[in-house]
């Protein structure tokens, strides 16, 4: 005998995950905790997998639960948007889900989204900013529809479409001695405290590889996880840094300046990652097309 589940069972599952517990989830759904538990159990019976690990102290997703959660979110999104569209004639609502490295999320992505929203105001965005490796995993798992990441961080099951190429630049305070120079070489950095990102970063791997090829080895004084942290340390006068141009202020800054650094010139390519053979929903495909048209070439 087959066991079916209801839409409210799916909402119950998501509520327990998002609110990290049965009590708050039951309150938000206006039902008792026993009724909520029965809905979760019915859903688990229907799909034949345990979705949640229940202990006296915590609720955690099982492996099956982690795989099932993004599918449930998409199903609920599609249902809600279809209902909204029926209730509000003539308007089309959709959600574009993407993962991207933080520099893309903070600088160039908002300008493209702004233009897109001017044309399609009902479209919503769910943006996850994360490391290059995590972008890959999110796209492969289907948590998002596409990703924006670095060339070289792709996977055999993914396609990579270049968006733009940007150089790494030198950043320092306006009162730093090297700020007087219009262009620098790597050897000019010797003797100054260098702030760099950790070796787990795709940016660090690119830089290290290019410098090894050029026979250069720069000693660092500070190692951080995020490019924004390195800029904070530079602004405080604790050292200098080399980072992608998009990670630096795009307008004149009262404290920081950037300078071209060459011999060698190091650059990175940003692009769109998506699963092989995946057909994107219309709104997402339209946004990807606009991204490519704005930045490619």
Structure tokens belonging to residue 48: 């034949």
Asked if residues 261 and 183 have their Cβ atoms less than 8 Å apart, the reply is yes
Structure tokens belonging to residue 241: 């840094």
- pLDDT confidence of residue 84: 52
247 to 48, 172, 251: CA distances (angstroms)? 46, 13, 12
- pLDDT confidence of residue 280: 85
Secondary structure (3-state) at 67: helix
- pLDDT confidence of residue 235: 93
Q: What's this model's pTM, rounded to 2 decimal places?
A: 0.62
Cis peptide preceding 264, ω within 30 of 0: yes
- pLDDT confidence of residue 88: 44
Cα-Cα-Cα-Cα dihedral of 148, 152, 158, 159, to 10°?
A: 80
Domains annotated on the chain, with CATH: 7-69 (1.10.10.10), 83-162+270-295 (3.40.190.10), 164-268 (3.40.190.10)
The separation between CA 142 and the C-alpha centre of its own chain, rounded to angstroms, equals 14
Mean pLDDT of residues grouped by 10 in the chain (297 residues)? 72 85 77 88 89 80 90 82 52 78 79 86 89 89 91 77 88 94 89 86 80 79 87 93 85 91 88 87 86 69
């Amino acid at each position: 005998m087959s066991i079916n589940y209801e839409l409210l069972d799916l909402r119950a599952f998501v509520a327990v995950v998002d609110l990290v517990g049965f009590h708050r989830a039951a309150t938000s759904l206006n039902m008792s905790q026993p009724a909520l538990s029965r809905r979760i159990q019915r859903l688990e019976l229907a799909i034949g997998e345990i979705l949640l690990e229940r202990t006296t102290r915590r609720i955690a997703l099982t492996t099956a639960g982690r795989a099932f959660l993004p599918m449930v979110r998409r199903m609920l999104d599609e249902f809600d948007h279809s209902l909204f569209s029926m209730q509000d004639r003539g308007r089309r609502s959709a959600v574009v889900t993407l993962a991207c490295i933080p520099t893309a999320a903070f600088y160039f992505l908002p300008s493209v989204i702004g233009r897109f929203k001017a044309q399609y105001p009902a479209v919503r965005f769910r943006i996850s900013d994360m490391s290059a490796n995590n972008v890959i995993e999110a796209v492969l798992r289907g948590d998002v529809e596409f990703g924006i990441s670095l060339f070289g961080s792709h996977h055999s099951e993914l396609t990579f479409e270049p968006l733009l190429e940007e150089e790494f630049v030198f950043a320092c305070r306006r009162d730093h001695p090297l700020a007087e120079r219009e262009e620098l070489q790597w050897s000019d950095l010797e003797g100054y405290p260098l702030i760099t990102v950790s070796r787990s970063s795709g940016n660090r791997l690119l830089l290290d590889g290019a410098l090894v090829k050029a026979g250069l080895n720069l000693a660092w004084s500070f190692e951080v996880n995020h490019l924004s942290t390195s800029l904070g340390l530079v602004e405080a006068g604790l050292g200098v840094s080399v980072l992608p141009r998009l990670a630096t202020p795009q307008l004149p800054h009262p404290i920081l300046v950037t300078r071209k650094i060459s011999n060698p010139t190091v650059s990175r390519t940003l692009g769109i990652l998506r699963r092989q053979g995946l057909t994107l929903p219309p709104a997402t495909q339209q946004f990807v097309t606009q991204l490519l048209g704005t930045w490619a070439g």
